[in-house]
Amino acid sequence: MTAKASVSLPIGVFDSGVGGLTVLKALRERLPHEPLIYLGDTARLPYGTKSAAAVSAYALEAAKALVSVGIKALVVADNTSSAHALDALRAEFPGLPVLGVVEPGAQAAGHASPRGKIMVIATESTVRAGTYPRSILHSRPGASVSQLACPLFVSMAEEGMVDGPIAMQVARHYLANAFLDPEPLERADCLLLGCTHFPAFLPLLRQLLGPNVAIVDSATTTARAVEDLLENRAISAPKQTVPAPVRYFATDAPERFARVAAVFVPWAIDPAEVNIIDLVHQ
């Protein structure tokens, strides 16, 4: 595919479910002129509790489906797939630019952390992969990086429980050891949100941690990286005043997709807009 031929194609955005809409939203804000196709593998989520092998196999199937629809770049919005499957995806689709959320988030955290004491919160499977600490240490050698799986945040976000006393208590439970209890100089100074769902808790986390902790959300940093990638490859869509279309695909439950989407994006999605796709028998 020549660069010229691919300019008008959409960017494919893939996630295990609906949380990746945080990445879609960030892309929409930064690149409103780029057409987008979002695919959520709602039949098989969560990925965050699954093995590396299962996550990689699922990610390859999802990418194959998006490639067959026609995309000019693939954004792996799902942190768990980004942590496990990026090399496999790049090897399988050599001509396709593939960008995950881990590297942009890790680099941003490396820059944002005043003293290099960084905590990554993510799913269990992302934590197990160790990709975030490796990537952070690459951009900030000598940083002290800790990780914590925060599975409750995933289900709470999907229930819309992103503020209020219960959410605050859960956030305190997860984060007090790193950010609140130790002596000030021993505390972590940067929190990296390494899961699609966690940007939904930003206001609450800011309230809990105060203004001196840097909070890095891989969704926004990824949107910036996508813009650079498109420019470097000369495949950016022409800027226009009317926003480009967004198409939604899911592997199951379009009503739930549309309902839970309301937690992550400020616009309404009609279940009828969500096309059901079969990734297994393609």
Binding site for ligand DGL (CB under 6 A): 15-17, 19-20, 45-48, 78-80, 123, 126, 154, 195-197
State the minimum distance, in angstroms, from the CB of residue 188 to ligand DGL. 20
Contact criterion met (CB below 8 Å) for 244 and 35? yes
Any idea which residue has 């940093």 for tokens? Answer: 221
Q: What is the 3-state secondary structure (H, E, C) of the chain?
A: CCHHHHCCCCEEEEECCCCCHHHHHHHHHHCCCCCEEEEECCCCCCCCCCCHHHHHHHHHHHHHHHHHHCCCEEEECCHHHHHHHHHHHHHHCCCCCEEECHHHHHHHHHHHCCCCEEEEEECHHHHHHCHHHHHHHHHCCCCEEEEEECHHHHHHHHCCCCCCHHHHHHHHHHHHHHHHCCCHHHCCCEEEEECCCHHHHHHHHHHHHCCCCEEEEHHHHHHHHHHHHHHHCCCCCCCCCCCCCEEEEECCCHHHHHHHHHHHCCCCCCHHHEEECCCCCC
Task: Report the residue number, 80 or 107, with the smaller CB distance to ligand DGL.
Answer: 80
State the minimum distance, in angstroms, from the CB of residue 218 to ligand DGL. 9
State the minimum distance, in angstroms, from the CB of residue 210 to ligand DGL. 26
Query: Which residue in the shown chain puts its C-beta closest to ligand DGL?
Result: 48
Task: Report the residue number, 12 or 48, with the smaller CB distance to ligand DGL.
Answer: 48
Question: Phi/psi zone of residue 101: left (φ > 0), alpha (ψ -120 to 50 degrees), beta?
Answer: alpha
Listed in sequence order, the residues at least 6 apart from 187 whose beta carbon sits closer than 8 Å to its beta carbon are 117, 178, 179, 180
From the number of C-beta atoms within 10 Å of its C-beta (0-12, 13-18, 19+), residue 68 rates as: exposed
State the minimum distance, in angstroms, from the CB of residue 58 to ligand DGL. 10
State the minimum distance, in angstroms, from the CB of residue 161 to ligand DGL. 15
Task: Report the residue number, 126 or 147, with the smaller CB distance to ligand DGL.
Answer: 126
State the minimum distance, in angstroms, from the CB of residue 264 to ligand DGL. 11
Task: Report the residue number, 48 or 133, with the smaller CB distance to ligand DGL.
Answer: 48
State the minimum distance, in angstroms, from the CB of residue 192 to ligand DGL. 12
State the minimum distance, in angstroms, from the CB of residue 235 to ligand DGL. 26
Task: Report the residue number, 40 or 97, with the smaller CB distance to ligand DGL.
Answer: 40
Task: Report the residue number, 6 or 196, with the smaller CB distance to ligand DGL.
Answer: 196
Task: Report the residue number, 37 or 154, with the smaller CB distance to ligand DGL.
Answer: 154
Task: Report the residue number, 101 or 237, with the smaller CB distance to ligand DGL.
Answer: 101
